[in-house]
């Protein structure tokens, strides 16, 4: 499995180029429609080099998905690691999260494609689920740290608030995938601002906490 952190700068750039090409190909043609040959051509590498870094299309999909969400969530977690706490820091972290999503908007169709695959494509479902579990642990830890002095004022427990954040990110990605014009992006930026405002109003001392729903 490719690991850019353990390779030369040139190797890391090659992997990044391959992952960008994979995201573009999978987003435009769908996972089943895109071939490894097409990805290699788009990345400007030989098929042999592509297979050196990624053994098959399943692994390439998984690593591209991880790369996209790591870019998004690293910005979120980095803000928490600066040591500040409270609602202002939480909102700044959300802003960093949204900025990261906007920066990789060209990946949005690919992310939408992989979200749908997690519900139907068996061979990689467990690996994607494991990755999402890691993401949730990072988010929950961040929420706990930023509200460490206000835990009694939290409307929802950290795990449920973290899930709301993740679900919000997924929803924004879906909207980005369908955005076509500057006006669409303006509406989407306004949507984010509205979601941010709702978060600021209800995360602490909001309405009574809803009962946990068991299935």
Does some domain include residue 24?
no
> Domain range holding 132?
59-202
Q: What is the rounded average pLDDT of the residues 8-21?
A: 85
Q: Which helix (H) or strand (E) holds 56?
A: none
Q: What is the pLDDT of residue 177?
A: 85
Residue 108 belongs to a domain = yes
Give pLDDT tens digits for 172-198: 888 988 888 999 999 999 999 999 999
Domain of 87: which CATH number?
1.10.357
Q: Does 165 fall in a domain?
A: yes
Q: How confident is the model at residue 61 (pLDDT cuts 50, 70, 90)?
A: confident
- The DSSP code for 154 is B
Instruction: Extract long-range pairs of 155-160: CB within 8 Å, 24+ residues apart.
Output: 155/202, 155/203, 155/204, 155/205, 155/206, 155/207, 155/209, 156/203, 156/209
Residue 6 has pLDDT above 50, yes or no: no
Question: Is 6 part of a structural domain of the chain?
Answer: no
Q: Is residue 181 part of a domain?
A: yes
The answer to whether residue 14 sits within a structural domain is no
In a domain, 19, yes or no: no
Give the count of domains, the chain.
Answer: 1
As a whole number, mean pLDDT of residues 141-160 equals: 87
- Let me know if residue 192 belongs to a domain: yes
């Amino acid at each position: 499995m490719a690991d850019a952190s353990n390779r030369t700068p040139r190797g890391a750039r090659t992997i990044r180029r391959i992952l960008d090409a994979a995201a573009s190909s999978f987003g435009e043609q769908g996972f089943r429609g895109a071939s490894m040959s097409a990805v290699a051509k788009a990345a400007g590498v030989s098929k042999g080099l592509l297979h050196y870094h990624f053994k098959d299309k399943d692994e390439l999909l998984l690593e591209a998905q991880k790369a996209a969400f790591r870019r998004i969530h690293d910005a979120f977690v980095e803000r928490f690691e600066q040591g500040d706490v409270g609602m202002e820091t939480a909102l700044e972290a959300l802003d960093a999260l949204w900025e990261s999503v906007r920066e990789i908007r060209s990946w949005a169709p690919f992310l939408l494609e992989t979200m749908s695959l997690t519900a139907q494509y068996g061979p990689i479902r467990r690996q994607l689920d494991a990755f999402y579990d890691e993401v949730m642990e990072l988010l929950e830890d961040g929420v706990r740290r930023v509200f460490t002095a206000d835990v009694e004022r939290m409307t929802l427990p950290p795990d449920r608030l973290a899930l709301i954040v993740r679900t919000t990110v997924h929803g924004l990605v879906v909207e980005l995938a369908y955005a076509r014009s500057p006006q669409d992006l303006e509406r989407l930026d306004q949507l984010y601002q509205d979601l941010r405002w709702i978060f600021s109003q209800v995360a602490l001392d909001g309405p009574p906490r809803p009962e946990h729903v068991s299935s």
